[in-house]
């Protein structure tokens, strides 16, 4: 067997690494109503580039993620066929304008989730048309907006979405959400919240619909700088990586006879 010198081994390894294809970034589209930032100066002062912009900046700095933001008032709400089809994971933030989202766009996004696109729904996005369509329930809950302490507790240690998170963390001021939260029983509950006023809430949950993974993550009222918190950013990043589809498009339709014989005679497909 021919032996290589250490220098040749290093050179050969470098050449092999150079010829390998770099992994493609996860393509993330962050959908935000975008109206509060335009119409309320106190919110614009918290999120001068919009909630979508703040989240996109954090994700783009995380490595391996290519994030962009779109808003309700963009053409087709920013969710054209081209945008939706080129999205691996969508993040959805909405609050006061759920009814203004065109049902055609909801249908477009819904089909893409069933085909494998990940969906991360934040805070009051629980009342969005797309989340209610995916859940099949009212998605209603109790709430109180007084700016109180929220403590988030990890309930599934080892779950990829809470990687790098301590057993709990505290947000000094947030809107309260309380049970009962009318959603289907989740596949996992990775966070629960306790609030200064005494309520508790399931603040991090996952489901699967079709081929798509869905995450709900509670914090993020627009008047508080929640999306600048490093722990919140880490959970959103982890959720994106977890919900990222690891396969191509799923095929459907009629399957002709004879495929077994073809594969046996041409196993390589060449």
According to the model, what pLDDT value does residue 246 have? 83
What's the distance, CA 33 to chain centroid?
16
According to the model, what pLDDT value does residue 265 have? 64
Residue range(s) defining the domain that contains residue 128: 24-247
d(CA 169, CA 161): 14
pLDDT tens per residue across span 213-270: 999 999 999 999 999 999 999 999 999 999 999 876 667 788 788 877 776 666 655 5
φ and ψ at residue 173, rounded to 5 degrees? -140, 125
User: Is residue 10 included in any domain, yes or no?
Assistant: no
According to the model, what pLDDT value does residue 3 have? 45
The stretches in the chain having pLDDT less than 50 are: 1-19
Residue with structure tokens 């700088």?
225
Number of domains, the chain: 1
User: Is residue 186 included in any domain, yes or no?
Assistant: yes
User: Is residue 60 included in any domain, yes or no?
Assistant: yes
Hey, what are 194's tokens?
A: 């306790």
According to the model, what pLDDT value does residue 19 have? 45
pTM above 0.85, yes or no: yes
Residue-wise DSSP of 154-223 = ESSTT-GGGTT--SEEEEEEEEEEES----PPPSEEEEEEEETTS-EEEEEEEEEETTEEEEEE----TT
According to the model, what pLDDT value does residue 268 have? 59
According to the model, what pLDDT value does residue 255 have? 79
User: Is residue 155 included in any domain, yes or no?
Assistant: yes
Query: In the chain, which residue ranges form alpha helices assigned H by DSSP?
Result: 6-19, 36-39, 41-46, 50-60, 81-85, 103-114, 129-135, 230-243, 259-265
DSSP 95: S
Is residue 111 helix, strand or coil? Answer: helix
Is residue 91 helix, strand or coil? Answer: strand
CATH number at residue 187: 3.40.50.880
User: Is residue 260 included in any domain, yes or no?
Assistant: no
User: Is residue 254 included in any domain, yes or no?
Assistant: no
d(CA 175, CA 148): 7
Q: Which residues have a Cβ under 8 Å from the Cβ of 204 and sit 6 or more positions away? A: 152, 155, 161, 162, 189, 190, 191, 192, 215, 216, 217, 218, 235
């Amino acid at each position: 067997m021919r032996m290589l010198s250490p220098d040749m081994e290093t050179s050969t390894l470098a050449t092999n690494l150079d010829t390998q294809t770099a992994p493609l970034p996860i393509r993330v589209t962050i959908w935000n109503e975008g109206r509060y930032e335009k119409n309320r100066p106190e919110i614009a002062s918290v999120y001068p580039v919009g909630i979508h912009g703040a989240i996109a900046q954090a994700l783009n700095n995380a490595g391996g993620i290519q994030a962009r933001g779109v808003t309700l008032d963009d053409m087709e709400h920013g969710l054209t066929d081209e945008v939706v089809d080129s999205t691996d994971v969508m993040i959805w933030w909405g609050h006061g304008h759920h009814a203004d989202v065109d049902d055609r766009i909801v249908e477009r996004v819904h089909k893409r989730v069933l085909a494998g696109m990940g969906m991360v729904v934040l805070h009051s996005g629980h009342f969005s048309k797309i989340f209610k369509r995916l859940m099949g329930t009212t998605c209603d809950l109790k709430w109180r907006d007084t700016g109180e302490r929220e403590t988030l507790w990890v309930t599934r240690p080892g779950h990829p979405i809470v990687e790098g998170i301590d057993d709990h963390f505290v947000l000094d001021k947030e809107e309260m959400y309380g049970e009962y939260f009318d959603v289907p029983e989740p596949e996992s509950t990775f966070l629960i919240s306790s609030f200064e006023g005494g309520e508790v809430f399931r603040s991090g949950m996952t489901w699967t619909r079709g081929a798509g993974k869905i995450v709900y993550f509670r914090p993020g009222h627009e008047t508080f700088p929640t999306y600048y918190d490093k722990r919140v950013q880490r959970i959103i990043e982890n959720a994106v990586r977890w919900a990222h589809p690891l396969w191509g498009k799923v095929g459907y339709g009629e399957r002709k006879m004879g495929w077994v014989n073809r594969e046996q005679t041409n196993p390589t497909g060449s």
